[in-house]
Amino acid sequence: MRGWKVLTHDYRPPVQGGKPVWDGTAGAVSAKVQLDRSADECGRGWNFTRRPETALRIAGLWPDGRPSRLISVGVADGAEWVERGDKCRAAQIVWGREAGVAKARSAVSALYAPFDGDHRERMVDSTMLWRAALARPVRDEEAVAAGIRAALTARGLDWELVRFPAARAARDARAAWDARAAWDARDAWDARAARDARAALTVEYAALCGWTTHDPDLLTTGIRDAYRAGLGVAVPVPGGLGWAMDGVG
């Protein structure tokens, strides 16, 4: 029995969290755990799905603000396993290989089967671009600042940029701000990677379908480029929009 499992970018369970459960080595055998053989769809064991798109639907495309890892798995020899609803679980699994870009794209395309046919390919393209951007493949502070400015302009916001040395400092500054002012500003923009990607794709599809009069790229312009260049966090703070690079607290 083979299937698919999703982990976070650093190999942690995307829903329950906790420590990494795999080191990226294909062929590695997991620890053996107690298997819940009840009729419950969610239960103790190594959970996975038959189809890659089902795994992405359950665990997410970027559960921690970075692209999730789509990994092939198999039931270990002699291990018990059960199938309940959309999910399978086993007492022990063998880790396979992580899906490449083409396989991940195919899974996203299958996941988006309910989308309007005229817009499906564009939404798949946009989703894959977001997955690539959230991996932060580039580190360029000037490009991040330029992207944020472009995003502010697209949203009709004339805010100053406030550079912070670390993400924690930006978040602390926001937390110290007057609660009501912060809430009003958050309505305009509360930049968090996973939320930004979901919101951008939602606005894009709604606009393409004619459900709104927004530019389809309203929430994509600038900010996706900023994440690609290494943006860690951007939040409203006193004096403007505070931002910090990824990987610095």
Q: What is the pLDDT of residues 189-199, one digit of tens each?
A: 434 889 999 99
User: How many Cβ atoms from other residues are within 10 Å of residue 116's Cβ?
Assistant: 11
Q: How does the average pLDDT of the chain come out, rounded?
A: 89
User: What's the pLDDT score for residue 173?
Assistant: 62
CB hemisphere CA count around 147 (13 angstroms): 27
Q: How far is CA 142 from CA 13, 39, 138, 231, 248, in A?
A: 34, 54, 11, 11, 16
Residue with tokens 């999703």: 6
- Determine which of 124-138, 155-169, 224-238 has the lowest per-residue pLDDT on average: 155-169
Judged against a pLDDT cut of 80, whether residue 143 lies above it is answered with yes
User: What's the pLDDT score for residue 199?
Assistant: 94
Q: Which fold has domain 2-111?
A: ADP-ribosylation fold (3.20.170)
What span, in angstroms and rounded, lies between the C-alpha atoms of 32 and 221? 47
Q: What is the pLDDT of residues 167-213, one digit of tens each?
A: 666 666 656 544 444 444 444 343 488 999 999 999 999 999 999 99
Domain boundaries, the chain: 2-111, 120-245
Judged against a pLDDT cut of 70, whether residue 116 lies above it is answered with yes
Residue 116 or residue 99, greater confidence: 99
